[in-house]
A and B are shown apart, each in its own frame.
Chain A
Amino acid sequence: MSKVVDYLRSLSLKELEVKQPRRYVFEVSPDKLRDVIGGVIKVSPQTYVSAISGVDYINEGVIEVNYCLWVIEDKVMVVLKVRVPRDSPKVPTIYDLIPGALNSELEAYDLVGVVFEGNDKLRRGFLTPPEIASQNVFPLRKDFKV
C-alpha cells in the first residue's frame, strides 16, 4: 500500500471515488494545500507535479484546480482538488516546495486565470498572444467565445 495515500487518509480529507487503478483523489481546502503538499514530499521526496489542471465549472461558479502528483516510489497518482470561487480564484503557490510546478502554475494562470499567491513569476502572455494577454480574459474559461 502507498505511504502517501495512508498519509493523506490520516488527514481525514474527503476522498472521491475513481474508477481508474492507481489514482487517488482528495479534496483539499486552499488554506491547507501547502501543508498537505509539504507533507506529501516529506513522506515521499520522489514526487513530481505531473500537471496542474484548471477546470471552469461556470454553472456552479467554481474553478477547480487539480494538482496531479505522481509518486515515483509508491507508483500512484495523487490528485488534490482545490475548489475556489470563480470571481476570485486564489490558491497559494507550491512552486517553492516543488520547483517543477512553475510551468504548470504559469499555464493555469494564463489560460484559466487561477491566481497562485506568492508566485512572483506569474505573468500574462506565457502561452497567450499579446492581444489576449492585454485584456483581462482567459481562453480556457467557459465564457470565452472563439
Chain B
Amino acid sequence: MSRLHGIKGFRGTGKITFGGAVTTVILVLWSVVQIFPLYWMLTFSLKENSEIFGSNVIGLPHNWIWSNYTTALQSGNMFRYLLNSAIVTGATIAITVVAATAATYALTRMVWRGRKTVNSLFMLGITIPINAVILPVFLILSKLHITNYWALIIPYSAFALSMAILISASFMQGIPKELEEAACLDGCNIYGIFWRIILPLMRPALATLSIFIFLQAWNELMYAVIFISDSKYRTITVGIQNLSGSFTTDWGPIGAALVVATFPVLLIYAFFSSKIQESLVAGAIKG
C-alpha cells in the first residue's frame, strides 16, 4: 500500500529496540497512573477496615466482604438514587435528541431568512459555562414551582442542546438531498420526511449524541446539589456525597457506592468505547 511498508515491517518484526522498550515502559507506567486509583477503589469496596487500614492495603481482598454492597444499596439508598439518575438522564437524552435534531433539520435543510443568525446564536451557547446562570435558572424554576426531576431535566437539556445541534448538523450534511426529494414527490409531507427519512438515517449520530448527553447528565453535580432539596429526587452524584458524610469511618460501603455509581458508565464504555471517544472528540473538534 504505502511505499514504506517494507521499512515499517522491518521496524516492527519483533526486534526489541531500546526506544521501543522505553516507549512500552512509559505507556505501561502511565496506564498504571490512570488505572491504579480505580483498582484500589474496587478492592477496598470489598474489604473490611482492618485490611484497608494496614494488613492488606493494595492487594486483592483476603475476605471478600460483599455485604459492603448491600449496606451501600440499602442504608445508602443507592437504588433510589440510581433510578433517579436514570430517569433524569433518560428524559434529558430524549428531550435533547428530539429538540436538537428537529432544530438542526430546520437550520440545515429548510429555507428561510435568518437561519444563519439563529444557528450562530445556538453555537454561542457552547461557550456558556453551565454554572454561570445557576441563580437565574434556580429562580425561574422555583417561580414555576418545578422542584422534582424536571428541575434537572430542563437545564440539562438546555445546556446539552448547542453541542447536540452541532453534532447532528455535521452528520445531517452528509445525508443526500435526493432522498428527501424522492420522498417529497412520493407525497410525503415535511414531517414525514423528517420522521421516516432523516431520523432513521441519523441513527449512528443519535447514538453518539445520546452518549454525549448521558455523560453530562449522569455526572453533573452542581445543579443536582442545589436544585433538589427533596431526597426523593436526589441523583446518584449527590447521593454519594451524602453517603460519604454518614459513613466517614467505614470505608467499605463508600467504596461500594462509588463502584455502583461508576458501574453503569463503565458498562456502557465497555460496549461503546469507540463511540464514546468519537462523540467527545466530535464535540470538541468542531466546537
**Binding between chains A and B:** no
